[in-house]
Amino acid sequence: MSRKRLLEISVETLEAPLAAERGGADRVELCGDLSVGGVTPGAALLRAVRAQVRIPIFSMVRPRAGDFVYSSADFSEMQRSIADAKESGMDGVVLGVFTKDRRVDVERTRELVEFAKPLPVTYHRAFDEAVDLHQALEDVIQTGAKRILTSGGAKNALEGAAVLANLIEAAGERIIIVPGAGISACNIDQVAQQTGAREFHSGLSAVLPYGSKDYGKFEDEVRKLAKQMARITAAL
């Protein structure tokens, strides 16, 4: 019996997660300012989305745009953001911390993972900037995070499919690898077949630019993705 594949959609407004839910998304990643890759959303948005959206919500925890080497002040802000996520009823948080030499900061990430409990942590696409992705995989596993969102170090998940497949094989049951970047209904079947992944992430920026307010089209594109994933699962 095939396990259902899971679709996560990144969003930055109240209307977008509602549209994603109607379209068949299984989970949303709630961010502020997706044009810079996403930062921590405001507490008011967290509460508003939680009040109206039934599917799981993972909140981005990223204090600023730019690199992922954080000061003590940045780190304290991340802890406050995690506390806000808990208080707002989020189902998980998404974060990433690096050392200056572009390696996973195992100690500080583990501290945030422990602070976030019982919420699961996804290590975000900072992962793709690591000097050694396979070492980064082992490092993230050490932190206790539950997922890694990655394009396999490539521009998009389809280009990184071979690396993603290797990461998924190396990860085994220890952590979930979530392909993301450039995924749409046009290529989800290729990404799924080439990687063997079970969870997928899309912002749909390939078909809808960040900042678009066409929530009807957004919902339609999510629906196309969800239906394509259902067909892939049924064909296995």
The model scores a pTM over 0.85: yes
CATH superfamily of domain region 6-235? Copper homeostasis (CutC) domain (3.20.20.380)
Q: Give the confidence band of 1 by pLDDT, cuts at 50, 70, 90.
A: very low
Which of 15, 6, 85, 81 lies closest to 52, judged by CA?
Answer: 15
Q: State pLDDT tens for residues 152-182.
A: 999 999 999 999 999 999 999 999 999 999 9
Buried b / exposed e across 72-92, counting CB within 10 Å, b at 16+? Answer: eeeeebbeebbebbbebebeb
Cα distances (Å, whole numbers) of residue 14 to 75, 82, 218:
27, 20, 13
pLDDT at 3: 65
pLDDT at 234: 80
Reading the block at residue 123, the tokens are 């290590």
Q: State pLDDT tens for residues 21-60.
A: 999 999 999 999 999 999 999 999 999 999 999 999 999 9
Q: Give the confidence band of 209 by pLDDT, cuts at 50, 70, 90.
A: confident
Domain boundaries, the chain: 6-235
Q: State pLDDT tens for residues 67-101.
A: 999 999 999 999 999 999 999 999 999 999 999 99
Contact yes or no for 192/4 (Cβ under 8 A) = no
The per-residue pLDDT of the chain, averaged, comes to 95
Backbone angles phi, psi at 201, to 5 degrees: -125, 135
Q: Give the confidence band of 205 by pLDDT, cuts at 50, 70, 90.
A: confident
Residue with the larger pLDDT of the pair 205 and 111: 111
